[in-house]
């Protein structure tokens, strides 16, 4: 417990510096966008004098770091600016869209974890036999399948042909849990299957290495059932590497959710960033990118905590 608190303390100490670095990077990159905020706000027909007056009044002609520190001040007060006319607070739009992206990411993550554990353990237990060969082929095919292409196949098969699930749209879980699950199931599958395929290979490799250790042979030789040895010892030790890899895959899930939301017409962060790019809305794109990046950092801190809980060998570090 002390080691866990120590690690959490170290991560929390570095968190403000990581957040500062992310904000600086996002703000710096957005400075190179060819979009003119004054033109977006006033329209193409506005005179150059009116546009210049807008730039001056909104601080767009100030030096870079003056603009950046103004942006930081707004960030700390929960103000990410307004969208292009009709003006709406970026924070308000994100607070509505972000929960949906988190729901989709969590459901995709759940599918990926369950599938990879089942298939990875099964492949390791039947190493080099036909179940292992079949799972290997399926996992390679899953890794090679892009999420957006899988999403189109799922819509074609289960929404248009079989009409089991809707092809798009979102149902709030407060209105209907069944409707919510149906609206997110196909997007979550499209998001989670490629991640499950790559994690299956990691789980399988980690399980095989653990099954070859001396303590496993000793436990089985002493008469313990295989399911007990695997369930109590092998699986826990074998999960150390997959949990580390999972932290990196969460970033893929968050980024993939943005694309999947557009395909399934879900009002999440993906639709926001698409609207922002289409309209040349720098504040909106900047805000969405920043929130996704910060979420990725926080999730990886949580994964570090899980890694410490699973791996007792580093609790004294």
Domain locations in the chain as residue ranges: 1-90, 96-310
Query: How far is the C-alpha of 197 from the C-alpha of 166, rounded, in Å?
Result: 25
Task: Specify the residue for token string 């193409």.
Answer: 44
Query: How far is the C-alpha of 195 from the C-alpha of 256, rounded, in Å?
Result: 10
Say if residues 165 and 180 touch (Cβ distance below 8 Å): no
The DSSP line for 97-134 is HHHHHHHHHHHHHHHHHHHHHHHHHHHHHTTTSHHHHH
Look at residue 89 and give its three-state secondary structure: strand
- Residues paired with residue 82 on neighbouring β-strands, in sequence order: 89
* Tens-digit pLDDT profile for residues 292-308: 888 888 887 777 777 66
pTM of the model: 0.83
Say if residues 211 and 153 touch (Cβ distance below 8 Å): no
Residue by residue, pLDDT tens for the chain (317 residues) are: 565 566 667 777 777 888 788 888 888 887 777 777 777 777 777 788 888 888 888 787 888 888 888 888 888 888 888 887 777 888 899 999 999 999 999 999 999 999 999 999 999 988 889 989 999 999 999 888 888 899 999 999 999 888 889 988 888 888 889 999 999 999 999 999 999 998 999 999 988 888 888 888 888 888 778 778 887 778 877 887 787 787 777 777 887 888 898 899 898 888 888 888 777 788 888 888 888 888 888 887 777 777 667 665 555 44
CATH for the 96-310 domain, from 3.60.15.10, 1.10.3720.10, 3.10.20.600, 3.30.460.80:
1.10.3720.10
Say if residues 309 and 4 touch (Cβ distance below 8 Å): yes
* Tens-digit pLDDT profile for residues 76-118: 888 888 887 777 888 899 999 999 999 999 999 999 999 999 9
* Residue 123: Cβ within 10 Å count: 26
Which element (helix H / strand E) includes 260? helix 240-263
């Amino acid at each position: 417990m002390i080691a866990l608190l120590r690690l959490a303390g170290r991560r929390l100490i570095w968190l403000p510096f990581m957040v500062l670095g992310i904000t600086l990077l996002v703000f710096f990159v957005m400075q190179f966008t060819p979009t003119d905020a004054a033109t977006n706000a006033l329209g193409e027909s506005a005179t150059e004098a009116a546009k210049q007056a807008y730039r001056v009044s909104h601080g767009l002609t100030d030096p870079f770091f003056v603009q950046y520190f103004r942006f930081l001040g707004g960030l700390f007060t929960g103000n990410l600016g307004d969208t292009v006319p009709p003006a709406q607070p970026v924070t308000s739009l994100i607070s509505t869209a972000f929960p949906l992206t988190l729901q989709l990411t969590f459901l995709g993550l759940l599918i990926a974890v369950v599938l990879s554990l089942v298939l990875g353990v099964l492949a390791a237990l039947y190493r080099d036999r036909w179940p292992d060969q079949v799972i290997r082929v399926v996992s390679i095919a899953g890794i090679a399948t892009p999420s957006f292409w899988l999403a189109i196949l799922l819509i074609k098969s289960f929404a248009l042909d079989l009409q089991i699930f809707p092809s798009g749209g979102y149902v709030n879980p407060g209105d209907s849990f069944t409707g919510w699950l149906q609206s997110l199931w196909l997007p979550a599958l499209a998001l989670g299957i490629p991640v499950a395929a790559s994690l299956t290979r990691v789980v399988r490799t980690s399980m095989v290495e653990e099954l070859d250790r001396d303590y496993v042979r000793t436990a089985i030789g002493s008469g313990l059932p295989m399911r007990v040895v695997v369930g109590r010892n092998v699986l826990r030790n074998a999960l150390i590497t997959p949990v580390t890899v999972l932290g990196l895959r969460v970033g893929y899930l968050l980024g993939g959710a943005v694309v999947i939301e557009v395909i399934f017409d879900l009002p999440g962060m993906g639709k926001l960033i698409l609207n922002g790019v289409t309209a040349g809305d720098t504040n909106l794109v900047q805000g969405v990118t920043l929130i996704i990046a910060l979420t990725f950092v926080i999730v990886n801190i949580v994964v570090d905590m899980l890694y410490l809980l699973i791996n007792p060998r580093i609790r004294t570090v």
